[in-house]
Structure 1
């Protein structure tokens, strides 16, 4: 068993045009001052990361990593959530997701998708060049508008959506294999990969690809009413990344899982800062330690109530308290006896 690394912080929800969140040196100094040991970096935000230079320049990579180390943190992983989302977009969401692409590509769906695929590929290559072995992303979604089967889905609709999704991702997964990088899909509502069943449907279509893995975030499972602890038992071999994010689900006589189109604060299910929701993190950390999880515990702030800076500050200590320093020995080793085949035979009544 190994001890989970952490605490780490996902920077996507914090980067802004306001200091200290507007440049790499300042934001890593801020994260380090809170006690974080690592940061997860969105590869598409130029205020923190220049993806093209990361692929092209060893000097740039050395400076980037050096600044982080000066501030007491290391880069845990790169994220290309927004770019991965654009690998597959249903037409119902074209206008909304256009904002994730450069302005010059908006409205040009073919160019936008090609750009997204290129961005994901560059994030894979940049990860290897930075010495990282895992990358976070979204799968994108073609079937999501058909989640609830009414009216009845046309025969073959879901199958075709997943076939197409696999066709788009297979070359990227092969590239990840060439670079020794796990592609960790955040299992997330709004994505075609939103639970264990859909993840397995995708795996079947990419030939159980060894680089197709999971970013585990129990908050998304609370809101779906999925057993987030059993999920670790089932998929621990595929879980390569971990977001520490809490959630609560309090259904009423007026609303449940779907939330009645209400804003986050008024929904039956809503995200909370670590420790403020219903996730049993003691059990989550125990199971990940049991299954020898190789990665980082990374705080992701998405709380409907708490200020992000308070959530970040409290999150570092929360993770520190929950990381289990795994034992190198069994608790009863003091009573261990050496191997003595004669004694064993005698104990079992064997000649």
Structure 2
């Protein structure tokens, strides 16, 4: 077994226009002072990383890593959720996602998609130059408007969508394979990959590509009422990244999983800061340790109630307290007999 690394934190939700949240060095120092050992960097924010330069220059990456090392943190992964989203966008959502890419491509969906694919290929090379092994992202979605359809979906619609999604992602996965980096899809409502079944359908569409893996985030499974512990039993071999995020689900006689179009505070299912929700993190860390997950435990802070500064401050000790230093010996080794094959045969009455 292997010991999970951490605590670490995803920076996307903390970025802002004022110090210390407006530059890599200052936000890294802020997180280091809170006790974080790693930071996950979003690739879409140029204040943190020049993605093109990182893909083209190992020297640039070495300098970035050196600056962070002096502060006391390291990069856990680069993450490209906004770029991944643009790989597949249904026209119903095109205007809402347009801001994820360059403004000049907002009304050119094909060019916008091609730009996103190029950004992901840059992220593959940048991850390689940074010495990283995993890369969280989103899959994008062609099918989301048809999740709970009325009238029923046309025959073959789902198959056509996953075939197309696989074709769009295959060259990206190949680029990550060349870079020696795993693509870790965050299974998330709003994406075509949002649970185990849809992930399996995607695997089939990309011929079980070895670089198609999972960013495990139990909070999204709480909101779907999916068994997030058994999920680890099913898919542990594909779990290559881990977002530590809490959530709660409190259905009533008025609303359930779909939450009645309410804002986050008033939904039956809502994200919470670590320890304030219903996720059984003790069991999660135990299972991941049992299955030899040796990546980072990365806080993704999202909470409908608590402030981000309090959530970040409480998150580092919470993760540290849940990381299991795995044992290097069995608890009953003291009673071992040190038997060999001859002794075993004698015990079995075979001599």
TM-score (norm 1): 0.99
- Cα deviation for residue 59 of structure 1 reads 3.0
Partner of 1:333: 333
- Cα deviation for residue 4 of structure 1 reads 0.1
Partner of 1:271: 271
- CA deviations over 1:42-96 (Å, ceiling 9, x no partner): 0110111110111122332122111111110000000000000000000000000
- Aligned ranges for residues 100-115 of structure 1 at < 5 Å? 100-115=100-115
The reply to whether residue 313 of structure 1 matches residue 323 of structure 2 is no
Partner of 1:62: 62
2:222/2:249 contact within 8 Å kept: yes
- CA deviations over 1:171-202 (Å, ceiling 9, x no partner): 11111111100000000000000000000000
Measured in 2, the distance between the counterparts of 1:125 and 1:99 equals 24
2:137/2:186 contact within 8 Å kept: yes
Measured in 2, the distance between the counterparts of 1:185 and 1:281 equals 21
Partner of 2:87: 87
Partner of 1:196: 196
- Cα deviation for residue 348 of structure 1 reads 1.7
Measured in 2, the distance between the counterparts of 1:165 and 1:216 equals 21
Superposed CA RMSD in Å reads 0.8
- Aligned ranges for residues 280-295 of structure 1 at < 5 Å? 280-295=280-295
2:20/2:27 contact within 8 Å kept: yes
Measured in 1, the distance between the counterparts of 2:287 and 2:189 equals 24
Measured in 1, the distance between the counterparts of 2:167 and 2:135 equals 20
SS in 2 for 1:8: strand
Partner of 1:151: 151
- CA deviations over 1:130-164 (Å, ceiling 9, x no partner): 10011011000000100003211011111111110
Partner of 1:322: 322
SS in 2 for 1:69: helix
The reply to whether residue 16 of structure 1 matches residue 16 of structure 2 is yes
Partner of 1:130: 130
The reply to whether residue 223 of structure 1 matches residue 223 of structure 2 is yes
Distance 1:148 1:350, change over 3 A: same
Partner of 1:233: 233
The reply to whether residue 3 of structure 1 matches residue 3 of structure 2 is yes
SS in 2 for 1:313: helix
2:57/2:129 contact within 8 Å kept: no
- CA deviations over 1:248-285 (Å, ceiling 9, x no partner): 00000000000100000000000001110000000000
- Greater mean deviation of Cα atoms: 153-162 or 280-289: 153-162
Measured in 1, the distance between the counterparts of 2:311 and 2:35 equals 13
2:58/2:130 contact within 8 Å kept: no
TM-score (norm 2): 0.99
- Greater mean deviation of Cα atoms: 97-106 or 341-350: 341-350
Measured in 2, the distance between the counterparts of 1:126 and 1:289 equals 29
Measured in 2, the distance between the counterparts of 1:91 and 1:255 equals 29
SS in 1 for 2:309: helix
- Greater mean deviation of Cα atoms: 56-65 or 244-253: 56-65
SS in 2 for 1:97: helix
Partner of 2:119: 119
Provide structure 2 residue ranges, at least 5 long, that are not aligned to the other structure.
none
Partner of 1:99: 99
Provide structure 1 residue ranges, at least 5 long, that are not aligned to the other structure.
none
Number of residue pairs matched? 351
Measured in 2, the distance between the counterparts of 1:286 and 1:177 equals 30
- Cα deviation for residue 41 of structure 1 reads 0.3
Measured in 2, the distance between the counterparts of 1:78 and 1:162 equals 26
Measured in 1, the distance between the counterparts of 2:185 and 2:346 equals 54
